[in-house]
Structure 1
Amino acid sequence: MQIINCKVENLEDCARLLVRVYAEPQYKEDWNEFDAHKYLKRFLDIEPNLCFIAIENNIIIGGIFAYSYPWHSEILVYVQELFVDSNERKKGIAKSLLKSICNNENTKIWLVANENTGASEFYKKLGFKKDGPYKFNYGALSF
């Protein structure tokens, strides 16, 4: 397996994989390839050096799309998407993708994980904590 920077020409296959992963029963998300491509391209356009793919036998089996920003006196990396083909999980691919976005061992990472999946437990094993002063809020404004 190789971890390489994602390029525009990889987005079609990445979008196809994202659609497949998020259609799985634990996610039940209804993506289409056009929207997934547009979504991933946005993050590739923002910070291409924080977008990586995992490839095996010339097939994309995982991807990570992240961006960084200054936070007080540090730089935080926000993982927008991390996804791995369900047939390739538990092989260290997600961990390798996360390592690819760390420019040093003290890189601070923020992310949101669906608690109905194995993702929360995976992040917990890596040392991520759910507690803190911030809570993810979701909704639509109606005035």
Structure 2
Amino acid sequence: MKLQPIEYCHLKECADLFIAVFSNPPWNETWSQKSALSRLKDCYDTPGSYGIIAIAENQVFGFAIGFAETWYKDKHFFLKEMCVQSAKQRSGIGTKIMDMLYQDLVTQGVRTMYLLTVRDSSAEAFYEKCGFSNHSKMQIMSKTLKVQLQKVNESD
């Protein structure tokens, strides 16, 4: 298995893997090819973007992608997405991806990596195994926005 930085040419296959993985528990999400590819392109096109992909025999088995951003004292990296092919989970691929990502980010001057994941899930247990923990001062908060569809005047 080869680990290397993600390139734009990998995004379609990463989107296929993303859909396959996140359609299963605990996420049970219904991504389309268009929305998954758009999400990964958004991540890839973000300034400071960086990611690692695991490939064997021209097949993507896993990836991680996010972006570095300036913080007042140093750089932080927000890991936006990570997944490993369901049949290959618990085989060490995810740990290898995280280890390479960690080493590469250290050489880029990143001091903190953070992410969002589902509570009490196998993903949370994986990240804890990789050294992540709940931050003592930070809390994720969200607000659902009410979307109002407006009829567009065709003469505009």
TM score, norm. by length of structure 2: 0.82
Aligned twin of 1:44: 44
Partners of 2:145 and 2:23 lie apart in 1 by 27
C-alpha RMSD of the superposition:
1.9
Pick from 106, 109, 116 the counterpart of residue 104 of structure 1.
106
Cα pair 1:5 1:48 within 8 Å, conserved: no
Alpha-carbon offset, residue 126 of structure 1? 2.1
CA pair 48-7 structure 1, distance change in 2 beyond 3 A: farther
- 2:126 pairs with 1:130: no
Task: Map 1:1-143; keep pairs closer than 5 Å.
Answer: 1-47=1-47, 50-102=50-102, 103-104=105-106, 107-141=111-145
Identity of aligned residues (%): 23
Which blocks of at least 5 consecutive residues in structure 1 are unaligned?
Answer: none
Partners of 1:129 and 1:63 lie apart in 2 by 21
Partners of 1:79 and 1:65 lie apart in 2 by 6
Alpha-carbon offset, residue 82 of structure 1? 0.7
Which structure has the greater CA radius of gyration?
A: 2
TM score, norm. by length of structure 1: 0.89
Q: Which runs of 4+ in 1 moved over 6 A?
A: none
Alpha-carbon offset, residue 36 of structure 1? 0.5
Cα pair 2:49 2:68 within 8 Å, conserved: no
CA pair 70-60 structure 1, distance change in 2 beyond 3 A: same
- Which segment is superposed worse, 102-111 or 82-91? 102-111
Partners of 2:49 and 2:27 lie apart in 1 by 28
For residue 98 of structure 1, give the secondary structure of its aligned residue in structure 2. Answer: helix
Cα pair 2:18 2:36 within 8 Å, conserved: yes
- Count residues with an aligned counterpart: 142
Which blocks of at least 5 consecutive residues in structure 2 are unaligned?
Answer: 147-156
Partners of 1:92 and 1:86 lie apart in 2 by 12
Which amino acid counterpart does residue 40 of structure 1 have in structure 2? L
